[in-house]
Amino acid sequence: METLTYEVNDRVAEITIESPLANALSSTILTELNEILNELEAEASLKAVILKGEGKFFSAGADIKEFTEFQGGKENMAFKGQAVFDRIEQFHAPFIAAIHGAALGGGLELAMACHMRFVTKKAKIGLPELGLGIIPGFGGTQRLPRYVGDAKAYEMILTAEPVEGEEAAAIGLANQAVEEEELLDHVRRIAASIASKSKPSIEHVLRLVPNVYESTLNAGLKDEAARFEEVFRTEDASEGIKAFIEKRKPEFRDK
C-alpha cells in the first residue's frame, strides 16, 4: 500500500490515509481503499471501522493534478469513487470518520459515505468544487442534503464556502465536535462501545436505517418487525435479556 495503512485490534479496524501533503484523494487511494475493503470483509469478528488521516488533514480534497488527465466513460474517476464509497456505506460494520484539519471536496464526500462523523471544532468542512468551475462527483450533491437539508446543501455547494467543525455538528453533518487532542480517543471509545454489542444486531441496524431513504414508512416498519423477530431468536438476544435480569454485563458470542 502506497497511501493507506490499516490494523485490526479488539474487533475494530483503523484505516489511516497517508498521502502527504494534504491526503488528497487520488485514483491510487481509491484503488487501495477498495483492496482494504476486500480484506476487511474477510474479518469475521470485525464490528467497527475508524477512518482517519495522518498529518494536518483528514483529506483536503481530490487530486487536482489527476483532473488534467480526465478521461470519460470507464475512466471516469467519479464512477470509481462512487463505487468505493457505496461499498463503505453498505459495509457490514459501521465506518466512523475522525476528521481533523479539513475534509474538503472528495474528502468530505468520503466522510459522508461513513455512518458517523466526529470532527475537531476548528476543522474546515465543505465542497469547494464550484470554485474550480466543476461540481462534486463522488456523491456530494446526493449525500449532503440528506444530512443538512436542501437549503443548506445548496448554500454550501453553490458558495463553495466551508463550515467549521462546530457548525458541522450543529447542522447535522457531524455527530459531535471536540477538541483536536480529544478526537481519536473519543472516536475509539465510540468504536469500542459498538464492538461490545452483538454482531447480528449491529448488522441488522445497518440494513434498517437506510430504509428511511429507500422505501416507504410502511415497508420499513415491516422490515424492522421481520428483522426484530430474526434477532430475537439469536443466542445473543437470550444472553442479553438474561444478563439484564441478572444485572450483569452480557457476554455476547455474536451468534
The Cα-based distances of 116 to 32, 172, 193, 194, 247 in angstroms read 22, 11, 14, 12, 30
How far apart are alpha carbons 201 and 91 in whole angstroms? 14
pLDDT for position 6? 97
User: Does residue 252 sit within a domain?
Assistant: no
**Active-site residue numbers?**
109, 129
The CATH number covering residue 215 comes to 1.10.12
User: Does residue 58 sit within a domain?
Assistant: yes
Q: Are residues 39 and 156 in the same domain?
A: yes
Angle of helix 140-148 relative to helix 106-113, nearest 10 degrees?
60
pLDDT for position 69? 64
pLDDT for position 67? 66
pLDDT for position 70? 60
Q: Are residues 75 and 160 in the same domain?
A: yes
Q: Are residues 118 and 191 in the same domain?
A: yes
Segments of the chain with pLDDT less than 50? none
pLDDT for position 115? 98
Q: Are residues 31 and 46 in the same domain?
A: yes
Q: Are residues 166 and 219 in the same domain?
A: no
pLDDT for position 21? 87
Rounded to 5 degrees, what angle do the CA atoms 66, 114, 54 make? 60
pLDDT for position 61? 84
Q: What is the DSSP letter of 130?
A: G
User: Does residue 251 sit within a domain?
Assistant: no
Q: Are residues 43 and 118 in the same domain?
A: yes
pLDDT for position 38? 97
Q: Are residues 215 and 146 in the same domain?
A: no
DSSP symbols for 33-52: HHHHHHHHTT-TT--EEEEE
Total structural domains in the chain? 2
Which three cell numbers mark 233? 431468536
User: Does residue 178 sit within a domain?
Assistant: yes
Q: Are residues 35 and 144 in the same domain?
A: yes
Burial status of residue 148 (CB atoms within 10 A of its CB: 0-12, 13-18, 19 or more): buried
Q: Give the range of the structural domain holding residue 220, as residue numbers without chain letter.
A: 199-245
pLDDT for position 207? 96
Q: Are residues 81 and 207 in the same domain?
A: no
* pTM confidence score: 0.94
User: Does residue 216 sit within a domain?
Assistant: yes
pLDDT for position 127? 98
